[in-house]
Structure formats: structure tokens, C-alpha cells
Amino acid sequence: MKFMTFNRSCAYAGVANLLEKFAIDKQDRDIAIEMKLPYFFYYDQNEKEYQAGPQLQNKVWFDLYLRPLGLEFIEKKLTKAALPAFLRNAVHNLMLGINIGNGRHTVVFQRYVEPKYIFLNMMHAYGNENPEISFTEAGLKAAVDEQVQFGYLQKEEKIIPLLDDIFCASIEYWKQYLHEVTEYMLIEQSSNSLAEHQEKFFAPLFLDTFSMMELLQEAELVKKIAELRTSYLQAMKTQGAKQLSKWVDLNAFTAVIENIIDLIRGEYSRQPMPIKIIPRKI
């Protein structure tokens, strides 16, 4: 079993476990580094939120790693009512998201042993959880959405994607992020707004980008992000409406984003220039 080796990496640990069936031995961190994940940043227009690192977790992103290996991530949907019968007859190991506590968590289906559906539980190696998690049919239906999205790997023609567009888009999204979040922190916000924007604005930098900079061993950036996060969390511990710029040093915040953009530019300049094959639009 492949474990999670960085924060919120359950989807990439799921892909690592699927790769074992193709005799490919990788950890989630290997996948992230080899596909250049730490340099990617995205704004989801539908969800109205920024995404970095392990939150870039669908076919478009997984295939950036898989297609050069001659594999493809196949995404499909079905209803929760149809899921149990489908799993009983599944010919692929497949991964899907279940609802646990306040969030979603990736699991990899292993087998059906009546009356239980048994999954690998993506977890940290040092965690206290059980590496397998099982559900009755009723429990499984209660843990998934009405429409269940799942994915599996299959062999496909090798393609080496050109990452130019993704590097360039990431830089522009970071610039947009810097402007939007700075404006937000300059204005007094209600407690409800601050709670709502915690995941949309601050988790992408303080959790996901932080993890990505750790993977790149960018010690100085990791330290600076941690300092900003400490200031932000101190502000969030206070009651009532607040103006975050009174806690978070906006000059330091700007410098961190500019340093990240410089890292992306540097990596972009080092990329080889193969025959241009454009990956599917993100």
C-alpha cells in the first residue's frame, strides 16, 4: 500500500496505489515532483476558488503524469443506487471520493466480501487509522453523493504534454490571487465571510502551496509562508469582524507570491521544447 506523504494528498496517494497494478512503484510525492505539480496554480471558475498542489485532482492533472507512461486516467459517473452492483462486478481497481466528517476523502476499491465493500484508506504512514475501510451497502450509499465520480487507469498511447500553457496560466492566476486576496485583507470582513474564504483564499497558500514548497525543499519560502500563516491564524482566533491586513504583513505576503512566480518562471525556462502536443484544456 502507498501512503500519503504530504498534506491533503489522498488523491495522489490513490493514483500511486492504482499504479501498483501496472508494476509502477511510486509515492504521491514522486508523482507530484515528476509532473511539476508544485509549479501549477489554478482558478476554478465554477467553484470560485483557487487551487494548488494536491487540490489539482482530476483527469486533466493526473494525465500530465500518466500519459508519458502510456497510461490514461478514465473518469466516469454513475448514480449511488447503481454503485454497489457496479463494484461487485468491477474489473478495475478504481478510486472514488467518500464523505467523511467535514470533507471528502479518496479511497481505492479492492474487493467485495459479502456483505462488505472493502477499500484502501488513503492515510499517512504514521496515522492511527485502519489501512482498510469497509462499508455495508447501506453504509456505502450514505458515504457518497447522489452522482458518484470514480476513476481507474488503462493503457493508452504515450504522449509527452507540453506544459507551456500551464506554466503561463499559473503565473497569471498567482497575479490574480495576489490582487484579489490583498484587496480582501484590506477591508474589514465579517466572521461569516472570513470562514467562507478560509478554504477559497487561504488554504491554497497556507496548506497546499506550503506542502509543495516543502517538496521542492525551498526552505526559505516554507519559513516565510509559515510566518504568514501564524499571523493569519492569530487573527482568526479573535472574535468578530476584522481587517486581516492589521495582522498579516502585506509586504511579506506580496514578496512570497512574487518569489513563487519567480520559481515558476525559472522552471518554465528549463523545460525542453518537444513537438507541441497540447494537453486537454484546463
User: Domain spans of the chain?
Assistant: 10-34+71-155, 164-269
Yes or no: say if 109 and 96 are a contact pair by the CB < 8 Å rule.
yes
Q: Rounded to a whole number, what is the largest CA-CA distance in the chain?
A: 59
What pLDDT score does 273 carry? 62
Cell numbers standing for residue 18 = 492504482
What pLDDT score does 125 carry? 86
Q: Report helix, strand or coil for 156.
A: coil
What pLDDT score does 276 carry? 46
Q: Are strands 95-100 and 103-113 parallel, antiparallel or unpaired?
A: antiparallel
CATH superfamily ID and name for 10-34+71-155: Cysteine proteinases (3.90.70.10)
Only one residue has cell 450509499, namely: 141
What pLDDT score does 275 carry? 42
Residues of the chain short of pLDDT 70, as ranges, are: 273-282
What pLDDT score does 189 carry? 98
Q: What is the rounded (10 degree) CA torsion for 259, 263, 266, 270?
A: 180
Give residue-wise pLDDT tens across range 129-174. Answer: 889 999 999 999 999 999 999 999 999 999 998 899 999 999 999 9
Give CA–CA dist 34/64, Å, rounded. 10
- The model's pTM is 0.92
What pLDDT score does 126 carry? 87
The dihedrals phi and psi of 132, each to the nearest 5 degrees, come to: -120, 145
Yes or no: say if 76 and 87 are a contact pair by the CB < 8 Å rule.
no
What pLDDT score does 100 carry? 85
What pLDDT score does 278 carry? 47
Only one residue has cell 510525492, namely: 29
Q: How many other C-beta atoms can be found within 10 angstroms of the C-beta atom of residue 9?
A: 29
What pLDDT score does 119 carry? 96
What pLDDT score does 12 carry? 98
Q: Are strands 132-135 and 71-79 parallel, antiparallel or unpaired?
A: unpaired
pLDDT above 90 coverage of the chain, percent: 89
What pLDDT score does 101 carry? 76
DSSP-derived secondary structure for 181-209? HHHHHHS-B-HHHHHHHIIIIIHIIIIII
Give residue-wise pLDDT tens across range 178-188. Answer: 999 999 999 99
Task: Tell me the pLDDT of the chain averaged across its residues.
Answer: 94
- Identify the CA nearest to 145 among candidates 211, 77, 231: 77
Only one residue has cell 488554504, namely: 203
* Angle separating helix axes 250-269 and 164-186, nearest 10 degrees: 180
